[in-house]
């Protein structure tokens, strides 16, 4: 057995399809969001503007959040030193869980290493608690939920994206006595669309099912206090379990669930991905608590975020650039070809100092490759204009496009091509 050959062949397979991932070395600059320093190689660097971060509000850079992190680390050190059960629970963890529960109007909340782990562990654990559970899952659900559902090892049904009628059709076919849960997201991260939360809650009531809502792209950004889309729509109390992240709008790290105390107690007591891992550093909890408090009290920040997304959409439309019309803050410019998408992204970065990561399979289906743009309250009019002009130049030129579609190009060749175009 030549193990190395197998590894090499798997990598080659990705390279041929244009799907091999190269990470870009990008350091954001404290206090200058959305600016960052890009290091294409060891000996060179340039200043660029980030257009694809999930740090939606720039909270990772907020001076009060940074200070809370530094001050707490100064007081109690860095690592937590253990799992929650063995010396790793601090007042910072408990205060943060209390804040999260309150944000979602729930009795209780539970912290995890990330929202990925929160989804995976919670859904897997529900399968252990209810061995005859039936899971109904939106076809576009995030990988972390798919992972958790697989680990739950119970009967599952995939429903068509955001299709409440399909949910009902499936519910009608399930024995009324069996436990059921409908698993979905409030804002779909790649399409930028909202789920029909109310219709799904109505169905859950009618068929006595639980609901599990991933609000990862909604928390901090929607609702009067940033409780998410379910808060905006007055539906938080109708969701059985709300999942969220502390790493996107709140700008730090970690994830959670919020629910009735008894449910949280069960996941706390049975969830392996909660029990058998070191808890978050207390300083991280303190910084996150500060971030949530600021974001909750800043409806102006949420309004500005939406205003910036609207301004970007309007300018893209004005320049004749096709983007997916989303009702949310996520603005996907669909390119539809993995190599073209990557070359366009490289051209933006190396020629125009704009960073928009190409989103390719498996994050999106084949043919839906896109640049997923995420304007923040801190992106200026000038930065929007610069992005739209650069995109227009790259997309408009047919000859240039054919070349960009043909094969991956080096950055020097890209620069020369665009100069000639």
The catalytic residues are: 248
Q: Which two tokens stand for residue 395?
A: 């997309």
User: Locate tokens 């107690």: which residue?
Assistant: 265
The single residue among 100, 115, 258, 312 that binds ligand PLP, judged by CB under 6 A, is: 115
Out of 90, 125, 189, 240, point to the residue binding ligand PLP (CB under 6 A): 189
* Interface mask toward ligand PLP for 122-161; x: CB under 6 A: --------------------x-x-----------------
Give the whole-angstrom CA distance, residue 114 versus residue 246: 8
Distance CA 139, CA 160 (A): 6
Instruction: Report the site for ligand PLP in 357-386 (rule: CB under 6 A).
Output: none
Among the residues of 132-228, which ranges form H helices? 143-152, 164-172, 197-206
| Beta strand extents in 31-179 (DSSP E only) | 35-41, 44-50, 108-112, 134-138, 155-159
3-state secondary structure of 116: helix
| Span near ligand PLP by CB under 6 A; candidates 113-121, 176-184, 201-209, 326-334 | 113-121
The residues in 217-276 that bind ligand PLP, with binding defined as CB under 6 A, are 217, 245, 247, 255
Strand partners of residue 334: 370
Only one residue has tokens 């207390």, namely 282
Tell me how many residues contact ligand PLP (CB under 6 A): 14
- Shortest distance, CB of residue 216 to ligand PLP, whole angstroms? 4
CA 215/CA 104 separation, integer angstroms:
10
- Show the binding pattern over residues 59-98: x = contacts ligand PLP (CB under 6 A), - = does not: ----------------------------------------
Calpha distance 279→54 (Å, rounded): 23
323 is an interface residue for ligand PLP by CB under 6 A: no
Of 53, 108, 114, 240, the one binding ligand PLP by CB under 6 A: 114
185 contacts ligand PLP (rule: CB under 6 A): yes
Q: Are 329 and 309 in contact (CB under 8 A)?
A: yes
Nearer of residues 180 and 248 to ligand PLP, judged by Cβ: 248
How does strand 134-138 pair with strand 180-185? Answer: parallel
Q: Is 216 in the site for ligand PLP (CB under 6 A)?
A: yes
- Contact footprint for ligand PLP (CB under 6 A): 114-116, 119, 142, 144, 185, 189, 214, 216-217, 245, 247, 255
């Amino acid at each position: 057995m030549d193990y190395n050959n197998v590894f090499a062949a798997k990598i080659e397979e990705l390279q041929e399809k244009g799907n091999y991932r190269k990470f870009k070395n990008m350091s954001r600059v404290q206090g200058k969001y959305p600016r960052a320093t890009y290091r294409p190689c060891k000996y060179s660097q340039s200043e660029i503007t980030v257009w694809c971060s999930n740090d939606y509000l720039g909270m990772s850079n907020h001076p009060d959040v940074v200070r809370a992190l530094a001050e707490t680390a100064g007081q109690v050190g860095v690592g937590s030193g253990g799992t929650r059960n063995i010396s790793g629970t601090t007042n910072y963890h408990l205060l943060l869980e209390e804040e999260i529960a309150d944000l979602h109007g729930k009795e209780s909340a539970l912290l995890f290493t990330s929202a990925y782990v929160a989804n995976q562990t919670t859904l897997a654990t529900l399968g252990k608690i209810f061995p005859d559970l039936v899971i109904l899952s939106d076809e576009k659900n995030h990988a972390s939920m798919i992972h958790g559902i697989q680990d739950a090892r119970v009967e599952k049904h995939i429903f068509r994206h955001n299709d409440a009628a399909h949910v009902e059709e499936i519910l009608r076919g399930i024995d009324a006595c069996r436990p059921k849960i409908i698993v979905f997201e409030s804002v779909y991260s790649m399409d930028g669309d909202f789920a029909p939360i109310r219709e799904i809650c109505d169905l859950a009531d009618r068929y006595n099912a639980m609901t599990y809502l991933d609000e990862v792209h909604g928390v901090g950004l929607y609702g009067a206090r940033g409780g998410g889309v379910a808060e905006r729509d007055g539906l938080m109390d109708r969701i059985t379990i709300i999942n969220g992240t502390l790493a996107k709008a709140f700008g730090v790290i970690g994830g959670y669930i919020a629910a009735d105390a008894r449910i949280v107690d069960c996941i706390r007591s049975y969830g392996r991905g909660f029990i058998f891992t070191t808890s978050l550093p207390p300083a991280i909890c303190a910084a996150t608590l500060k971030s949530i408090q600021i974001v909750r009290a800043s409806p102006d920040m949420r309004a500005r975020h939406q205003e910036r997304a609207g301004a970007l959409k309007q300018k893209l439309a004005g320049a004749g650039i096709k983007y997916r019309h989303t009702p949310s803050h996520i603005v996907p410019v669909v390119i539809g070809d993995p190599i073209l998408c990557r070359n366009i992204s490289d051209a933006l970065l190396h020629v125009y100092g704009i960073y928009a990561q190409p989103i390719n399979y498996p994050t999106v289906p084949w043919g839906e490759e896109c640049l997923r743009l995420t304007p923040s309250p801190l992106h200026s009019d000038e930065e929007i204009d610069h992005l739209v002009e650069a995109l227009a130049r790259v997309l408009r030129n047919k000859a240039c496009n054919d070349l960009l579609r043909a094969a991956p190009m080096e950055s020097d060749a890209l620069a020369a091509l665009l100069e000639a175009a």
